[in-house]
Amino acid sequence: MAVAIGKTFFNAIQKMSNDDRGRILTFLDKFCENPAHPSNSLERVQQAKSDNVWSARVSKAIRAIIAKDGEDWALVYVDHHDDAYHWTELRSIERHSRTGELQIVELPTVVPPTFESKRIGHQALFDRYSDDYLLSLGLPELWLATIRHIVNEEELIEIIEKLPFDVAERLFDLAAGKLVTPPTPIVSLAEAADQTQNLFLVRSQDELRPLLDAPMATWIAFLHPTQRKLAYGSFNGAVKITGSAGTGKTVVAMHRAKHLAGQGRRVLLTSFVNNLCHNLRRNLQLFCSADELSQITVSTVHHQALMLLKSAGQIWEPVGDDDLQVLLNSLTERDCPLAGETLFAEWRDVVQAQGIMDWEQYRSASRVGRGRPLTVKDRKAVWTVIERFHQTLSNSGKCSFTGLCLRALDLLHNGLASPFDAVIVDEVQDLGLPELRLLAALAGVGADRLMIVGDGGQRIYAAKHSLKSLGIDVRGRSHVLRINYRTTEQIRRFADALLGQEADDLEGGKQSRQGTRSLLSGPEPMLKGFDTRQSQCDFVVEQIQQLLKFSRTPDEIAIFARQAYLLSMVETRLKRANIPFHRLSKEDFPAEPMVSLGSMYRAKGLEFKFVFVIDASDDQLPFAKALDKKTDETALADFLEQERQLLYVSLTRARDCVFVTWAGRMSRFLGNR
């Protein structure tokens, strides 16, 4: 006997009150232990379209809807008595005759009039395919007539959410002209839970409770088969996973950490910034056992470098870029051909990035793309300043964050043993070459030791680099995720238009961003300009009030701005409206539902149903004060690209709806979509 839970059940429980949710969790404990227990009051649902649908008594007022398949059970919905039965009346709940998949399908209404009018003079999208073939892909037979009337992808998007997720994915691929192979028929519900993204097989009641009690965390339970293969497969060398925002890269990384930890491996799951590592750690606790968690270390690469140095008796004080630039400028001599931002960029992007430690290395170092060429004499003058800079830092026991990685890497090269058996790197595009060299050394060489996850279109910190230059070989083990699980198709298209059709593939080449699809649909992003910031803030708060009026909760809403100080005026308006809010930080989210406010850099790794990106004006995006300091052409180009990608990251935190507002002149990035 197997007990599975459908995604529709997970979604339904999130809409219940805390008291009702507690009753449902108690019921689930009892049901998973013994579905046939008399207290469950199992009854066949007479109004259901098939005879395999049952109801169970959760409480006096609440009923669970269950599909029975032989000795197996799948909980598919839960709600108050009348609402639960009404939900059932509007759906077909049965295994597909061809694929064997358990499908929960909304009954189609009449073919929309817009479809019929557009069909005149146009070939339907799926005319070339037979009914038999479409059915073999899992299309419910009752939807054949509607599908036959669709003439373009826009119409497909209108109805796609009413179909099973895996069927929708196959139809999108078919519409794009791809060859789609019918799935292998499924024999049992237990098998279905491993091969589809619609069911979660309950193997342990201990792992079930935190999942059901975690808002917007159904991604933890419902892995796409492609994601599952990457997370739980075995690979002969380093693996690279890329994909645009919302395609589930981080989900794969976390499941990979769980899988390897379950094998007894010591796993480092790392990223660039503290708040993202905090989110990873918090989410791992939702679906990892205590033993698995004890095997997983989640921290930034710089923190790990500090720990390695400390273990060797070396204590260094890390120094941020702003203070480093001030010190470097104070040591600059008149005969140095570089100064200010240009000199700092030379040190950061050439000397540090390449791990250069002496004059001979700098003399022959590559400076391709640096803009101004330097003679040997020029290089010597630059190195004289940089050498004095390094000595000054060393004498005071201070070091750059990247310098920590170089020193820690030197320890590993000289015999210090790595404390890890496997390394998983999230948001790899934000790490520099020294950081990646350290992580590769910590992972070592061999099977299942290194997984690299990222998106070249979301680089907001580091300059471009290539895995090839590090000797990290991912040939034959490079995978692109194309299905967007977070955002609607409307938001995905809007955000992707900012970046163009190609992105850095992290290996020195380009990767097409085309072919990505979201199977969610919603309203187009709203763009609105204002004469003053005051009127902009009034609009934002009015929209939030409307959302709350229609039963949305504050924790489903976030507001992002390029600079954190720009949020102060919004805070004042929220206080006046008695709307609870908090500033995003690396600390836990507040216990009570609150609107989240933060800089765009804080948006990394988060998701909300509604996102407001405010002050998207041309003096903020790109940030004018920083832009004016970019005298080096390469540094200027990198900065503009990172600013554009920062906007992209913020927009793609939204699941259902995004608002973009500004006062004055609209950002050039929005104007060039």
Higher pLDDT, 76 or 216: 76
DSSP 422-482: EEEESSGGGS-HHHHHHHHHHH-SSTT-EEEEE-GGG--SSPP--GGGGT---TT-EEE--
Mean pLDDT of 650-661: 95
Residue 115 has pLDDT above 60, yes or no: no
Nearest to 251 by CA among 214, 218, 206, 298: 218
Residue 605 has pLDDT above 50, yes or no: yes
Mean pLDDT of 296-303: 96
**pLDDT tens-digit map of 255-271:** 999 999 999 999 999 99
Select the highest-mean-pLDDT range: 38-42, 298-302, 351-355, 585-589. 298-302
Give residue 237's region: left, alpha or beta (phi > 0; psi -120 to 50).
beta
**pLDDT tens-digit map of 172-225:** 889 888 889 998 888 777 676 666 667 777 766 666 666 665 554 566 667 777
Question: In which band, very low, low, confident or very high, does the pLDDT at 588 lie, cut at 50, 70 and 90?
Answer: low
According to CATH, the topology of domain 525-671 is: Rossmann fold (3.40.50)
- Domain 235-310+411-485: CATH architecture, name and number where available: 3-Layer(aba) Sandwich (3.40)
**pLDDT tens-digit map of 514-552:** 778 887 888 999 999 999 999 999 999 999 999 999 888
Mean pLDDT of 425-440: 92
Share of the chain above pLDDT 70, in %: 92
Of 103-112, 193-202, 272-281, which gets the smallest average pLDDT?
A: 193-202
Residue 511 has pLDDT above 70, yes or no: yes
Structure tokens, 341 = 């931002």
Question: In which band, very low, low, confident or very high, does the pLDDT at 651 lie, cut at 50, 70 and 90?
Answer: very high
Give the whole-angstrom CA distance, residue 552 versus residue 635. 43
Give the whole-angstrom CA distance, residue 490 versus residue 331. 52
Give the domain ranges of the chain.
Answer: 3-100+189-211, 106-175, 235-310+411-485, 319-396, 525-671
Q: Which residues contact 609 (CB under 8 A, 6 or more apart)?
A: 216, 552, 556, 557, 654, 655, 656, 657
Provide the pLDDT for residue 212.
63
Question: In which band, very low, low, confident or very high, does the pLDDT at 117 lie, cut at 50, 70 and 90?
Answer: very low
Residue 135 has pLDDT above 70, yes or no: yes
Residue 3 has pLDDT above 60, yes or no: yes
Asked if residues 433 and 197 have their Cβ atoms less than 8 Å apart, the reply is no
Q: What Cα–Cα distance (Å) separates residue 62 from each residue in 4, 25, 31, 56, 269?
A: 19, 12, 14, 9, 41
Question: In which band, very low, low, confident or very high, does the pLDDT at 467 lie, cut at 50, 70 and 90?
Answer: confident
Please tell me whether residue 198 adopts helix, strand or coil conformation.
coil
Do the domains spanning 235-310+411-485 and 525-671 agree at the CATH topology level?
Answer: yes
Residues in the chain, overall count: 673
Q: CA Rg, the chain, in Å?
A: 27
The distance from CA 219 to its chain's CA centroid, rounded to whole angstroms, is: 10
Residue 421 has pLDDT above 90, yes or no: yes
Q: What are phi and psi of 283, to 5 degrees?
A: -75, -35
Average pLDDT, the chain: 87
Higher pLDDT, 109 or 62: 62
CATH assignment, 3-100+189-211: 3.30.2310.20
Structure tokens, 504 = 């850095």
**pLDDT tens-digit map of 349-403:** 889 888 898 999 999 998 876 777 899 999 999 999 999 999 999 999 999 999 9
Higher pLDDT, 581 or 585: 581
Nearest to 655 by CA among 161, 189, 194, 42: 161
Give the whole-angstrom CA distance, residue 2 versus residue 72. 5
Question: In which band, very low, low, confident or very high, does the pLDDT at 673 lie, cut at 50, 70 and 90?
Answer: very low
